[in-house]
Amino acid sequence: MGYGFGGFLLVVGLVLALAVTDQVNGVDLTMVGWIMALVGALLIVLSAVTMGRRGTRSVATTTHSDGSQTVSERRTEI
What lies within 8 Å, CB to CB, of 30 at 6+ separation is: 16, 17, 20
Answer with the residue of higher pLDDT: 35 or 2.
35
Mean pLDDT of 24-38: 93
Kindly report, residue by residue over 34-50, the tens digit of the pLDDT.
Answer: 999 999 999 999 988 88
Full-prediction pTM beyond 0.85? no
Q: DSSP letters of 18-44?
A: HT----BTTB-HHHHHHHHHHHHHHHH
